[in-house]
C-alpha cells in the first residue's frame, strides 16, 4: 500500500499561502520502521511519499526508510516506489544521487518568477536564485522531477513567465495549482488575471507542440488525456482507500490535509488501521451535491476532499473559486486539444501517450 | 465567481475523432458483419486501450468507417 510520511512539522520556509502549522515535531526511527512494515503488509506494491513540513530537514530518516524498504522489497518481492514533495532548498549532490539511484519521483515545489513573492525563508530571505541552482542540479543528475507551482492571487500575473522559465530549465513537466485555503483571497479581478495568464500558457503550449516539444503542463494536458483514457485511479488518493498519511507520531489519516483533525484519525502504525472507520469512509460519497448532475463532474477535482476542506471546511463541498477554475481549465484544455488533434491524429495520440 | 454546473453535454472534437478512429479499427479488423454487439463491445474496449496503435487517418475519414458500423447496425 501507499503511505505519505509526514517526517516533520518543521519547515525552513514561510510560504505566504501555506496553511500548515510549524512545530518542532519529528517522526522517530521507530515510527518509520512501523510505517515501512505497514506499507509492505498489504497490496501488490509498496510506496512511500516523503512529506512535511520540509522532509529534507530529516534526510537521515529518508535514508533509513529507503534502506528498510529496499530490504523488505528484496525479502518479499514486492516492488517499491518512493516519492518526495520538497521545497527544494536543501537538495544537495548527495540527495540527488540517492534520489536517482532510488528512482525517486521528486515533486519540486517551485513557483518560478513568483518564488520571491510567496516562498521566502523563515527569516524573510529570497529563495529564487537558490531554487534555480537546485533545479539545474536535479536536471544534471537526470532525476525524475516535476515542478509544482502554486499560483496565488497576488503573484499570478507572473504565471506565464514562470511556466516558460520552468520549461527553459529543462523540466519535462509541471503542475500548476491555484493557492487555496484561508491564507488567500481570490476576487473576480485576480481570477481574471489568472484566466489571462492561462490563455497565454495555452498559446505557448501550442507553440511548443508545433515544434515537437513534449513539455507538459498539468492541469491542461491531464484534462485532455483523462477524458480519452479515463481518470487513472492511481493518481488520486481516494481519501484513505488507496493511500494513507502517517503523522509524525504514527497516527494514520486519509490525507495530509487532515493531520490536525483527530476526528479523521484512522488508527496508527502501532495499533494498525481502524478498518471499520476506513470502510465507513469508502462508502461515503465526496462529490459535492451541486456537482452531481454537472457534465464536467468526472473531469473535475470536485471530489478532492483535501481541496474542499481547505476551501470550505467540508470535504464534500466545493468553493466557487474551485468550480470557476475547473471550468476554465477544462474549456481551455479542450480548445488546445482540438487544435492539436486538427494537426494530425497520430501525432496527437503519440503526444498524449494514449 | 460562482458554482455553475455545465449541462451542454458536448464532447470536444478530439474525443469524437478518437472514438471514430477506434471504430474504424474495429470495422477494418473484423469486417462488416452482423455482429453488432461484438463490435460495440470492442469499440468500447478499443477506444480506450488501443487507439494508440491505429494507423492514423484524419478524423473525418475515420468517421466514414464509423458510419459504416452504424449502417451495419441499421441493416441488422
- The band of A249, judged by pLDDT with boundaries at 50, 70 and 90, is very high
pLDDT digit string, tens, across residues A279-290: 777 667 678 888
- Does A346 reach chain B within 8 Å, measured CB to CB? yes
Q: At what angle do helices A220-229 and A320-342 cross, to 10 degrees?
A: 70
Rounded percentage of chain A residues whose pLDDT exceeds 70: 95
pLDDT digit string, tens, across residues A222-240: 999 988 877 654 445 566 7
Instruction: Please answer yes or no on whether A294 and B5 come within 8 Å at the CB atom.
Output: yes
- The band of B71, judged by pLDDT with boundaries at 50, 70 and 90, is low
Name the closest residue on chain B to residue A225, using Cα atoms.
B15
Is B55 buried (19+), middle (13-18) or exposed (0-12) by CB count in 10 A?
Answer: exposed
Residues of chain B contacting residue A349, judged by C-beta atoms under 8 Å apart: 18, 51-52, 54, 56
Instruction: Please answer yes or no on whether A321 and B59 come within 8 Å at the CB atom.
Output: no
Nine-digit cell string for B72: 451495419
For position B68, what pLDDT does the model report? Answer: 52
Cβ-contact A202, A220 below 8 angstroms: yes
For position A349, what pLDDT does the model report? Answer: 86
- The band of A210, judged by pLDDT with boundaries at 50, 70 and 90, is very high
- Does B9 reach chain A within 8 Å, measured CB to CB? yes
| A208 pLDDT above the threshold of 70 | yes
Cβ-contact A87, A109 below 8 angstroms: yes
Distance from CA of A348 to the nearest CA of B (A): 9
Cβ-contact B54, B21 below 8 angstroms: yes
**Which one of A186, A341, A347 makes the best mutation probe of the B interface by having the most chain B beta carbons within 10 Å?**
A341
Its pTM stands at 0.86
User: A78 or A276, which is more confident?
Assistant: A78
For A230, the closest of B9, B21, B48 (CB atoms) is B48
Residues of chain A contacting residue B11, judged by C-beta atoms under 8 Å apart: 227
A 10 A CB-CB count for A37 gives 14
For A337, the closest of B2, B5, B14 (CB atoms) is B14
| A77 pLDDT above the threshold of 50 | yes
A 10 A CB-CB count for A21 gives 10
pLDDT digit string, tens, across residues B38-61: 555 555 555 544 444 333 333 444
ipTM of the predicted structure? 0.83
For A349, the closest of B1, B56, B58 (CB atoms) is B56
Rounded percentage of chain A residues whose pLDDT exceeds 90: 73
For position A175, what pLDDT does the model report? Answer: 97
d(CA A73, CA A79): 6
For position B13, what pLDDT does the model report? Answer: 85
For A354, the closest of B11, B51, B62 (CB atoms) is B51
For position A354, what pLDDT does the model report? Answer: 74
A-B CB pairs within 8 A amount to 85
| Burial letters A70-109, b for 16+ CB under 10 A, else e | eebbeeeebebbbbbbbbbbebeeebbebbeebebbbbbb
Amino acid at each position: 500500500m501507499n503511505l505519505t510520511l509526514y517526517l516533520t512539522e518543521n519547515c525552513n520556509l514561510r510560504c505566504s499561502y501555506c496553511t500548515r502549522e510549524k512545530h518542532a515535531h519529528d517522526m522517530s526511527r521507530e515510527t518509520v520502521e512501523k510505517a515501512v512494515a505497514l506499507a509492505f503488509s498489504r497490496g501488490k506494491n509498496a510506496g512511500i511519499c516523503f512529506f512535511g513540513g520540509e522532509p529534507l530537514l530529516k534526510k537521515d530518516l529518508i535514508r533509513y526508510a529507503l534502506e528498510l524498504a529496499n530490504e523488505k522489497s528484496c525479502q518479499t518481492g514486492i516492488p517499491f516506489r518512493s516519492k518526495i514533495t520538497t521545497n527544494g532548498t536543501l537538495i544537495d549532490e548527495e540527495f540527488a544521487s540517492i534520489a536517482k539511484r532510488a528512482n525517486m519521483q521528486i515533486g519540486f515545489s517551485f513557483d518560478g518568477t513568483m518564488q520571491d513573492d510567496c516562498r521566502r525563508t523563515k527569516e524573510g530571505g529570497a529563495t529564487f536564485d537558490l531554487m534555480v541552482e537546485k533545479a539545474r542540479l536535479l536536471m544534471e543528475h537526470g532525476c525524475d522531477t516535476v515542478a509544482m507551482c502554486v499560483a496565488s492571487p497576488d503573484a499570478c500575473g507572473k504565471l506565464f513567465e514562470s511556466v516558460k522559465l520552468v520549461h527553459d530549465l529543462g523540466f519535462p513537466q509541471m503542475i500548476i495549482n491555484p493557492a487555496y485555503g484561508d491564507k488567500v483571497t481570490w476576487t473576480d479581478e485576480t481570477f481574471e488575471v489568472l484566466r489571462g495568464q492561462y490563455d497565454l500558457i495555452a498559446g505557448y503550449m501550442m507553440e511548443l507542440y508545433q515544434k515537437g516539444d513534449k513539455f507538459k503542463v498539468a492541469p491542461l494536458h491531464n484534462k485532455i488525456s483523462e477524458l480519452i483514457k479515463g481518470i487513472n485511479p492511481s493518481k488520486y488518493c481516494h481519501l484513505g482507500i488507496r493511500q494513507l498519511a502517517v503523522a509524525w507520531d504514527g497516527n494514520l489519516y486519509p490525507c495530509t490535509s487532515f493531520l490536525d483533525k483527530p476526528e479523521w484519525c484512522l488508527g496508527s502504525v502501532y495499533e494498525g488501521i481502524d478498518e471499520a472507520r476506513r470502510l465507513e469512509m469508502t462508502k461515503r460519497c465526496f462529490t459535492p451535491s451541486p456537482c452531481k448532475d454537472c457534465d464536467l463532474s468526472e473531469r473535475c477535482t470536485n471530489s478532492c476532499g483535501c481541496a474542499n476542506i481547505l476551501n470550505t471546511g467540508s470535504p464534500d463541498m466545493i468553493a466557487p473559486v474551485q468550480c470557476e477554475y475547473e471550468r476554465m481549465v477544462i474549456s481551455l484544455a479542450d480548445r488546445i486539444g482540438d487544435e492539436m488533434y486538427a494537426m494530425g491524429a497520430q501525432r496527437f495520440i503519440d503526444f498524449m501517450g494514449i | 465567481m460562482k458554482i455553475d454546473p455545465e449541462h451542454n453535454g458536448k464532447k470536444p472534437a478530439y474525443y469524437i475523432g478518437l472514438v471514430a478512429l477506434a471504430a474504424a479499427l474495429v470495422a477494418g479488423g473484423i469486417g462488416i458483419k452482423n455482429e453488432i454487439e461484438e463490435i460495440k463491445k470492442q469499440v468500447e474496449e478499443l477506444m480506450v486501450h488501443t487507439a494508440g496503435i491505429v494507423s492514423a487517418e484524419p478524423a473525418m475519414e475515420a468517421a466514414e468507417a464509423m458510419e459504416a458500423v452504424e449502417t451495419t447496425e441499421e441493416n441488422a
